[in-house]
Chains A and B, each alone.
Chain A
């Protein structure tokens, strides 16, 4: 039975083995790159690297490790595309920092909280990406609330399922 804490003093901090730390983000990147070949809508609505970033950040509850995790995953995602490297990196750095900071203060162990946190951070991620891509890189970007909300809900739903699977790899410090 998972132990949940709501106060900062009682927060449980988790760590992960190195294979999980390296392998899960790589697997997420791999699935994100491969699945759209068969299911093109997957890339439109889902962002597995973002979900992994949120999960690790919330579980470690350390802002520095959270932002570094987000930066690494985001930069790797940038490298698979053709846009300048750093757009996803910046967005996921912000998300990693925010998720880990939030994990320190809130109970993010139950499904409802995870759903809402994931939905919120998806929108944050999309907003930061939009701002950087349009403001710094001068890419053509259009903001669509319906698409943002829909994709956010889809990611939140998938995230809740994914987090329960990834919970198995948690190790208590």
Chain B
């Protein structure tokens, strides 16, 4: 017996070592979920042995690279600076248009009691290592539990999503990339809104699964997160479709090129906090028909305190992003004061700044787009009517200059918030001769039934709401045109 053991000693030890490892594997495969903690200690040792060197090397590499790029190699910086300035100008214009669309979307979401997720806090982290194997596509980042990172947090770059946090150590975290075969992300196509599951393959590609083969998926379409995985908020860029072919089981095989370059990650953002709240349209105005009718009744001065409160509320609304329209006053006078150059307009009225700006970029006449909605109310005696003293902060001065740059501004004499009554500035109180007004404004002011016309270009503007009925007062456009019809004082 001893001779047999001695003769096959090496082989027996080999079998024993293999058996132990197979046993360990079986235990790991059987356990799942919380039992990940069991293997964590041994992984910590390995990670702690390797990551300090990686962190040091990354630090040295970054330091030397920054020294070279920031102090020595500055060739082409001026040209790049000019190019970036041009891009900023273009993006400003684009931003105005997008703000317009976003405002509309918020209003629609409000109608649907839509809940959406907002990214409220991210942590920037540096990539310091990888698994070193094409069977395990993960990276290590230099932030961990101490920085507030937890499991299953989304990781992204400015280009698109990268992956999710898989394991967290005190100062290091392990991130599973979206091209790993074990990853899965809820995704959808941007235009067709088809939803599927984004998965990695064994050779590191990313595919969108679970899209039926009878659907039309064009190459080049953008893929976004759908939010269905409860990890990535909805709407983050994922990538673009590069190839579509028929797969198995009546599903398409859609290859995706990730928006973020997963092979050259240096810095990433970890989404450590997100909020889910019901969308609110800040510019939503809820008016009842009776409110409008009551505004036309002979005025009874409100109490100053109430006036101040309502004025402050509307001023706050006006100051908010998107500059929601204030509650319309009765008999508003939309006053346009053309600048001497004729390229900028001064409008009295409260309207979404972005909307006005957007309209201004599309049309030189703000009134044509129906943006100016409410204005200060003047009477023959110059007393502000009750509807007006709800705080119509006069006027955001918005227009475009000849170069198409959007300018916004506020007149410091917009309101007298202390008393709650708002007095229009001198030029606003004085009625502008029709010869000076933009034609469209004058036409609207004299036509009671004329709601601000929405041109196709303005269909995305906040004013492009469904046409309200004559009694409906929820639409700002209605509330704008209706009082404007009563341009003449009672």
A33 contacts across to B, CB distance below 8 A = 50, 54, 129-132, 140
Return the contact of A77 from the options B132, B134, B166 (Cβ within 8 A). Answer: B132
B321 at the interface (CB under 8 A from A): no
- Residues on the B chain within 8 Å of A26, using CB: 49-50
Closest to A40 in B: B263
* Structural contact, A142 and B202, CB atoms closer than 8 A: yes
Complex CA gap A30/B132 in Å reads 9
Which residues from chain A contact B26 at a C-beta distance below 8 Å? 136
Q: Write the nearest CB–CB distance from B411 to chain A, whole angstroms.
A: 55
B139 to chain A, nearest CB (A): 8
- Tell yes or no: A133 within 8 A of B by CB: yes
Query: Contact: A136 with B167, CB < 8 Å?
Result: no
Stretch at the interface among B11-19, B213-221, B271-279, B476-484: B11-19
Report the interface size for chain B: residues with CB under 8 A from the other chain. Answer: 50
Cβ-based interface call for A10 (8 A): no
Q: Is the Cβ of B46 less than 8 Å from the Cβ of A139?
A: no
Q: Of all chain B residues, which has the CB nearest A22?
A: B49
Interchain nearest-CB distance for B140 vs A (Å): 8
Query: Among A35, A67, A81, A97, which residue has its beta carbon within 8 angstroms of that of B136?
Result: A81
Minimum CB–CB distance from B5 to chain A (whole Å) comes to 14
Interface with B: A12-20, A84-92, A109-117, which one? A84-92
**In the assembled complex, A59 has its CB within 8 A of some CB on chain B:** no
Within 8 Å CB of A77, what residues of B?
132-133
- Whether, in the assembled complex, A76 has its beta carbon less than 8 Å from a beta carbon of chain B, the answer is yes
Q: How far is the CA of A140 from the CA of B14 in the complex (A)?
A: 27
Assess A79 versus B43: contact at CB under 8 Å? Given A30-B54, A33-B131: yes
B47: chain A residues at CB < 8 Å are 79-80
Known A34-B129, A37-B130; contact A86-B13, beta-carbon cutoff 8 A: no
Tell me if B22 and A136 are in contact (CB < 8 A): yes
Instruction: Specify which of A32, A37, A79, A97 is in contact with B14 (CB 8 Å cutoff).
Output: A97
CB distance from A38 to the nearest CB of B (A): 8
Selected from B24, B166, B202, the residue in CB contact (under 8 A) with A140 is B202
The smallest beta-carbon distance between A21 and chain B, in angstroms, is 15
Minimal Cβ-Cβ distance residue in B for A138: B29
Chain A residue nearest to B140 (CB atoms) is: A33
Q: In chain B, residues 13-41, which have Cβ atoms closer than 8 Å to a Cβ of chain A?
A: 13-14, 17-18, 21-22, 24-26, 28-29, 39
Listed from nearest, the 7 A-B pairs whose CB atoms lie closest are A81-B136, A79-B46, A32-B132, A40-B263, A81-B131, A33-B132, A84-B28
